[in-house]
Amino acid sequence: MGKLSRRRFLAISAVAAAGIPAAVQAQAVHHWRGVALGADASITLAHPDAARIVDIARAEIARLEAVFSLHRPGSALNQLNAAGSLSAPPPELLDCLSRCAQLHSATDGLFDPTIQPLWALHARHFAGMDAAALPDRQTRRAVLAHVGFDRVRLGTAAIALDAGMALSLNGIAQGYIADRVAALLRAQGLRDVLVNTGEFAALGQAPGGTPWQIGLQAGQNVLPDRVPLMDAALASSAPHGISFDGQGRVGHILNPKTGFPAQPNWALVSVIAPDAWLADGLSTAFCLMDGPEIARCLTRFPQARLAALVAA
């Protein structure tokens, strides 16, 4: 979890036309492509008023980016990080952080949005140089003193952080936004649409009555089987898909307990869940776990399951 998008490198693509009969493909299947929180985004649907519907979705994405983005100086998240507190926080920020609390508890603290100071340390350490070693133990321990989601104080009146703390929601916000956009489109009467904001939320079926088909790629390897998705969500992470160093040795997903990057166990972790925020958060945390730990964590979320777990 950190300032960079975790999804650019995965090249995960919705195969919207796969398995759709030619007669159906001839209909107006609308496919919008854009960017959300720094990741490739898309919305796919077949509807006579598709352009208007997509405009509604794009406006919602932009509105939520103003809450969650680390790249927008005036975002609610950046205001919180800069001041250490935020009065009358947007309800979406408070709601997302409440879900973070669930994940933090269920993953024994491995999902932790307060990782941002540690992420910033590694970014500074490797910036403009090919460092051969990680930040030294003393420096790392000093920064770890500012990591710990149990010290984030949540309330409708204000959100407050201890001095020196900062949040990144890049391990959950893309999934959360996918859920919000999908809910908005459902409220507009849409029953069959695929929302991709870096993570996928699938409503109903693809044109032609088949499940939406999602292609996965781990590094340079395209997985042979597409993942069918219908009324569910899918999210993916890869510990070394983005790295701090030029050689790709120091992955961007950091352990909030040790301060070290994730061990190179997995090339790709993909999770299916009822909600994209849950799939997103679990796929992030699972990068820091071994196989048995992942299995134990999944028992706490019986509606979630692995879609792919590719060894590095």
Tens digit of each residue's pLDDT (9 = 90 or more) over 83-115: 999 999 999 999 999 999 999 999 999 999 999
C-alpha to C-alpha distance for 215 and 5, rounded to whole angstroms: 19
Asked if 222 contacts 193 with a C-beta cutoff of 8 angstroms, the reply is no
Asked if 68 contacts 144 with a C-beta cutoff of 8 angstroms, the reply is no
C-alpha to C-alpha distance for 109 and 148, rounded to whole angstroms: 8
Can you tell me the mean pLDDT for 265-289?
A: 97
Asked if 190 contacts 207 with a C-beta cutoff of 8 angstroms, the reply is no
C-alpha to C-alpha distance for 51 and 86, rounded to whole angstroms: 36
Q: Can you give the pLDDT at residue 240?
A: 77
C-alpha to C-alpha distance for 67 and 89, rounded to whole angstroms: 9
Which residues are registered as beta bridge partners of 32? 43
Burial of 97 (C-beta count, 10 Å sphere; 0-12/13-18/19+): buried
* Amino acid identity at 183: A
Lowest mean pLDDT among 11-25, 215-229, 256-270: 11-25
Residue 116 has pLDDT above 50, yes or no: yes
C-alpha to C-alpha distance for 287 and 176, rounded to whole angstroms: 19
Q: Which two tokens stand for residue 150?
A: 């149990």
- pLDDT band at residue 68 under the 50/70/90 scheme: very high
Where residue 237 falls (left for φ over 0; alpha for ψ -120 to 50; beta otherwise) is beta
Q: What residues have CB less than 8 Å from 195, skipping those under 6 apart?
A: 43, 57, 178, 181, 182, 185, 201, 202, 203
Q: What is the pLDDT of residues 278-311, one digit of tens each?
A: 999 999 999 999 999 999 999 999 999 999 999 9
Residue 11 has pLDDT above 60, yes or no: no
First-to-last CA distance in the chain?
A: 19
Which residues are registered as beta bridge partners of 266? 311
Domain boundaries in the chain? 8-311
- pLDDT band at residue 246 under the 50/70/90 scheme: confident
Helix boundaries (H) for the chain:
22-25, 50-68, 76-83, 91-106, 116-126, 137-144, 173-187, 276-286, 291-298
Q: Can you give the pLDDT at residue 127?
A: 86
Q: Can you give the pLDDT at residue 21?
A: 45
- pLDDT band at residue 128 under the 50/70/90 scheme: low
Fold of 8-311: T-fold (3.10.520)
Sheet containing strand 212-215, edge to edge, reads 13-14, 212-215, 227-229
Q: Greater confidence, 159 or 131?
A: 159
Residue 81 has pLDDT above 50, yes or no: yes
- pLDDT band at residue 242 under the 50/70/90 scheme: confident
Residue 8 has pLDDT above 70, yes or no: no
Q: What is the pLDDT of residues 27-42, one digit of tens each?
A: 579 999 999 998 899 9
pTM: 0.92
